[in-house]
Amino acid sequence: MKARVTVMLKAGVLDPQGEAVRHALGALGFSGVEGVRQGKVIELDLADGTTETTVTEMCEKLLANTVIESYRVEVL
């Protein structure tokens, strides 16, 4: 079984990496980029029978800082 976890900073949390990417895109001539939010994608290879609830527990305990980040779990 595979699962994909997408972690992003919550709305309202400053994203300096996203801002640096936005600035760099403008410097490279890409106009019209008004905002960039940067996150991370974690792909997990899991044993058969692992539940989505277990993956959610992994996110809550390690994979996401739930104070400033939100996450989405997709079972593939």
Tell me the pLDDT tens digit for each residue of 30-69.
999 999 999 999 999 999 999 999 999 999 999 999 999 9
pLDDT at res. 5: 98
**Measured between alpha carbons, how far is 20 from 6 in angstroms, rounded to an integer?**
21
Coil, strand or helix at 67: coil
Q: Region of 44 please: left (phi>0), alpha (psi -120 to 50) or beta.
A: beta
Going from N- to C-terminal start, the domains of the chain cover 2-75
pLDDT at res. 28: 96
What is the per-residue pLDDT across 15-27, written as a single tens digit (0 to 9) for each?
A: 999 999 999 999 9
pLDDT at res. 31: 92
**CB within 8 Å of 9: residues ≥ 6 apart:** 15, 18, 37, 38, 39, 68, 69, 70
CATH architecture of 2-75: 2-Layer Sandwich (3.30)
